[in-house]
Structure formats: C-alpha cells, structure tokens
Amino acid sequence: MITFGYTSDAANHYEIWSANTPDVYLDGITQLLNITYQALDVGKVFVQVLNINVVATGAAPTTSAPPVPYATPRGFANDITQWLAARQGSEAAIAKTLMFNNINIPGAAPGTVIAAQSYTAPDYAYNWVRDSSLTMDVVQSFYAAGTGSHKATYESILFQYAQARYQEQVDPGLQTGLGEPKFFLNNSIFTGPWGRPQNDGPATSAITLMEFSSDYLAAGGSLATIRQAIYDGPQAPVLRDLLFVANNWTYSSFDIWEEEPSDHFYNRMVQHRALLMGATFALQFNDGATSQILSAAATAIAATLGQFWDPIRNLILYEYGPVLRGKYSYKDVAVVLGVIHGYAGDGIYSYTNDQVLETAWQIATSFIPVFPIAATHFDAQGRPLGTPIGRYPEDVYNGVDTSLGNPWYLCTASMAELFYRASTAFNKAGSITVTETSLPFWQYFAPGQTYTCGTTYNLGRGNNYGWGSVSPNGNTQQGNAMIASLQGWADAFMRTVKYYTPAGGHLSEEVNRTTGVAQGAKDLTWSYAALLTAAFARAEAGGAPVGYSNYVRILANL
C-alpha cells in the first residue's frame, strides 16, 4: 500500500507530494516506474515518470512444498445426487423450506429477509442488504423455473423485495448512502457502529432485480410494470443503485465480511457485472444516456481488475492494500465468491480462467493445516471429503465473538459451485488448455496424468455432453478425465457440507474447526441460499438425472 499525500500548493506551477509505503504488499518491488492517477475533481488523468529504485521491505512469500492430493474422486457421486434431489425430504428441499422461513417473517416489513434465526449470541435479527440480495437471487431462480401458483408467489415476493430495497435507499438515517449494510426487520436503518459502507450490496441487489426483470418479461410481463416498479419509477430501486455504483466504485468500502475498508476484488466484480447488465437493461427503456454512463463505468472497473493478480504469489488478491487483521496468507474465499457472483460473461475472470483456478487451489488447500477436521479425508463409507473452507485462514471470528475461525457451510458450498460451473464452461468450450498458471490446480485436483503447459485437451464422448461418436483418443480421454475430476471434487466439497450437516438438515453459519459441530448463527439464510445455488450449478453441469430446468422447476413447485 502506497499512500500519497499532497504537501504543497501549485504557486510555482508544480506540486509536491509525499509517498509513504508502510507495508509494501507486493514483495519484490525494485523500481517505481511512474505514477498515474485520476483526479476526480477535474476529471483528468495525470502521469508522472519516476524511475526511482526502491528496496521492498515486505516479508518474502513463503514457499513450501505443494500439498499432496489425498483422493482422486471422478464424476458425479450418487450420494450427492440423492442428497440434493428435487424431492421432499432431500437436503435441497429442506434448505428451500428453511430459506423461505426466513423471508417475510411475521412482523417484518414485506420483502425483507432475516439473516439468521438467531436473536442473541449472535444477534442476526436484521435485514442485511447483501444476504437479502443473494437470497432473493435464489427466489428469482425459483421464479424463472416455477409454474402456476408457485411462480406467482415468487413473483410477489420479488416485487416486495424491490419495494423493500427502495425503502432502504430513502431511509432518512443513511450515513453512507446506498452502501448501508444492515436494517432492522421493520426495514429502518441500523445506525449503531458498524463497518460501513459495504458497496457490494447495491450491485448484488440490482443484479437480482435485473435478472428477475428479464424473466418476468420473458414470461410475458409488461415492460411498463418493470419500469415503474423496478427501473426508474418514483419508488423503483435499480437505477438508483446502478448510478450509486457508477459514481462510487472508486471509493474504498468494507468487504463482504464487514471487516476491512479497502478496494475489494469481490466488490469490483459484482459492481462490474451490475454495470454491464445495467447498460443493456437501460436500453430497454430507451435510456441511452444512462446506458452510456453505466457502460463507461463498467469499462473503467474492468481496467482495474487485472491489478488484483499478484504475479509473485500467483494469486488473485482479495483486496489492494496493507495486510489487515493479520491476513498474511493474502488468501480469502471472497475471491471465489466474487467470481461466482460477479462473473459478467465477458471473459474477465471467468470460471475457467487459469488465474481463478490457481487461486481457488491455493485458497482450498490453505485450510488444510488450519482446521483439525480437515484431517478427516473420508466419510464413513470411504467417500472423499473436500477440505472444509472458511473465510480466510487467519480468521478469528467464531460466529459469536473472536477466538478461532471455522469452516463455513456457505464457503464450502461456494467452492463446490465454482467447480461445477467450471466443468460446465469447459464442456461448452469443448476443451481445456493447461497453462503454467493453472498447472498446480490440475496436478492437485486431477493427478495421475502428465500435463504439458500450453496443451489443449479436447473434450468429447464420455463426458456429460457426450458429442461425437468416435472413441476418444488419448488427448480427449485426458480432457474427459479432467472434467470428471472437477465434478468429483465439486461433489467432495458438497459431501463435506453434507458430512457436517446435523440430522434434520438445519444449517448454521459455521462448524467448529476441531469438533465439526455446528456453530454460530442458527439457520443462516445465506447457508441455505449457497447450498441451493451450488445444487443449481450441479444440475447445470449435468449432475441431476432430470436435467437443469426440470430440477429447478420440480424444486420450485414442491
């Protein structure tokens, strides 16, 4: 982190600035080449050549032998297919019921979500903007797939949600604009001390409501209704949130864990996606001027995303800035969440991107030495368990206060989701190219094969898409085996969620790192939402015998 301070005025046609680097976060910097900065007040970009040699003082990255894989799961596993089946009594059905139990709870404002059924130790009896938007995104998937009275119910919840979001935006007590993170259940602002703003919320809320709008229109709904209730009617939330994002993305914000004010990968990813979607959305209302504002901001964010890649650590950093909260591993599963919630379909940090895969491998394996329960590699039937995933290795939040951090259900399910989505995307592309960057990922998750960097492995007969009628050659066999490994490990991560799910199927926030017993907020809504989006991604990847649309429809209509 380099802090610049302005120390002198421009009386003599030059300015004096001082630079301070208390904690060089990219070890190995040897020279400062130039300063390029954007002056928001005058709307100009300035470049000053420096060419100054510097000595970096940060700790060198630790290099240790890469972890050795303890299992080689291949393909979708029947126990997970059963556990997530679209039928009464499955965990997917239980998660759906318990998630809806937390929406519109008695006495709460319509369209709100209680973050967890936990009123003390911890008190999660609030409507968090982030948690609600991610929950409503699942409602939206059910809306899109459901039929009849089920569809109608989801539709009315989503219109209520739009209204609730508008109420939040105009609450007279906002301290940090639309980035306020949490509201009481009557949807009035929580004004106590808190990490604010959290500028991911306006983006994820807009994404959910724009997705809903497309499906509503596709189902024959009226554009005028969407304009009035969702886009820019007097009580519509989406344009407000999108303009807030376009105008505020450069400012630092707290992260999704509500702990660190900085420039966060997760936030930028969801903001970029929201703006790109918004640019297209606005055109439906012939609002070309807004579309241009949003698309220009999306382009500007896109230009910053590459800066999160740390070429020394081969890692996508979760934030720019100094190490806070002792996060010396520089790893945070928020990066994986940023990709699954924020990938915009434009090729930037896609599910199959080699930097994303490399980062996912590093994050997943970083918890092996941290959580004692990670030493349990197999369930009672001998089936492999993926490493339990927490927020970041150094986490000390125990779900109530601070001591030792734990694995989280939603983090573990999100790792599975990334793997399912990667397998779908590779299958659609028809091939996998192994690069030097992604090599460690493949060596760990699909071991036992020889990889040549730069080689493209084709996919075909034998994988779930099963095109082609000729027997696969060696190259294709290897590609198919890689896909099977992705699917096998995705299921292994889901099996970890399953393994630590208590009888009855209730999910809290976390599981104790030593005992594996559920801990923290009970019935965390986001845990259910994350389980369901992972289940949807599994169905899309080919894991549900009935296929993706039947799977979501049957579940929606249960």
Provide the sign of the torsion angle of the four alpha carbons 49, 53, 59, 64, taken in this order. Answer: positive
Nearest-CA neighbor of 421 among 507, 341, 331, 525? Answer: 341
Which of 255/540 has CB closer to ligand NOJ?
255
CB-nearest residue to ligand NOJ: 397
Place of tokens 């400062």: 32
For residue 391, the minimal CB distance to ligand NOJ (Å) is 7
Nearer to ligand NOJ, 257 or 442 (CB): 257
Considering the candidates 27, 171, 258, 394, report the single residue annotated as catalytic: 258
Active site residue 263: no
Residue 536 CB-half CA count within 13 A: 22
394 binds ligand NOJ, rule: CB under 6 A: no
Gyration radius (Cα) of the chain, Å: 24
* Residues contacting ligand NOJ: total by CB under 6 A: 11
- What's the N-to-C CA distance of the chain in angstroms? 51
The interface mask with ligand NOJ, positions 234-263, x = CB under 6 A, is ----------------------xxxx----
Instruction: Find, among 48, 55, 49, the residue nearest to 31 by Cα.
Output: 55
- Closest contact distance (angstroms) between CB of 54 and ligand NOJ is 34
Nearer to ligand NOJ, 257 or 318 (CB): 257
The only residue of 154, 212, 371, 397 in contact with ligand NOJ, by rule CB under 6 A: 397
Beta 518-519 vs 510-511: how paired, if at all?
A: antiparallel
Would you count residue 442 as binding ligand NOJ (CB under 6 A)?
no
> Out of 83, 100, 128, 489, which residue is the one contacting ligand NOJ (CB under 6 A)?
128
Our finding on whether 115 is near ligand NOJ (CB under 6 A) is yes
Query: Which residues are CB-neighbours of 294 under 8 A, at least 6 positions away?
Result: 242, 246, 275, 276, 278, 279, 282
Determine the 3-state secondary structure of 182 from DSSP.
strand
> Is residue 232 at the binding interface for ligand NOJ, with CB under 6 A as the rule?
no
Q: Is 493 in the site for ligand NOJ (CB under 6 A)?
A: no
Which one, 491 or 523, has the nearer CB to ligand NOJ? 523
The count of C-alpha atoms lying within 13 angstroms of the C-alpha of 4, restricted to the half-sphere facing its C-beta, is: 10
The partner residues of 35 in beta bridges, in order of sequence, read: 48
Tell me which stretch binds ligand NOJ (CB under 6 A): 125-133, 223-231, 290-298, 461-469: 125-133
Q: How far is CA 275 from the centre of its chain?
A: 16
Q: Supply the DSSP symbol for 49.
A: E
Contact between 142 and 100 under an 8 Å Cβ cutoff? The reply is no
Residue 21 is encoded by which pair of tokens?
């680097």
The answer to whether 67 touches 365, Cβ cutoff 8 Å, is: yes
CA separation for the pair 197, 176 (Å, rounded)? 6
Tell me if 130 contacts ligand NOJ by CB under 6 A. Answer: yes
CB of 549 to ligand NOJ, least distance (A): 30
CB of residue 401 to ligand NOJ, shortest distance in Å: 8
Catalytic residue status for 241: no
Contacting ligand NOJ (CB under 6 A), which of 159, 392, 457, 526? Answer: 526
What is the full DSSP assignment across 367-385?
A: TTTT-GGGG--B-TTS-B-
Q: Name the minimum Å distance from CB 190 to ligand NOJ.
A: 12
C-beta of 185: minimal distance to ligand NOJ in Å? 13
The distance of closest approach from Cβ of residue 43 to ligand NOJ in the complex, given in angstroms and rounded to an integer, is: 34
Asked if 469 contacts 461 with a C-beta cutoff of 8 angstroms, the reply is yes
Out of 168, 211, 255, 523, pick the active-site residue: 255
Question: Does residue 334 belong to the site contacting ligand NOJ (CB under 6 A)?
Answer: no
Which lies closer to ligand NOJ via its Cβ, residue 232 or residue 258? Answer: 258
**Residue type for position 329:** S
Q: Which amino acid is at 369?
A: P
Residue with Cβ nearer ligand NOJ (171 or 258): 258
Q: Looking at the annotation, which residues are catalytic?
A: 255, 258
Contact residues for ligand NOJ, defined by CB under 6 A: 115, 124, 128, 130-131, 256-259, 397, 526
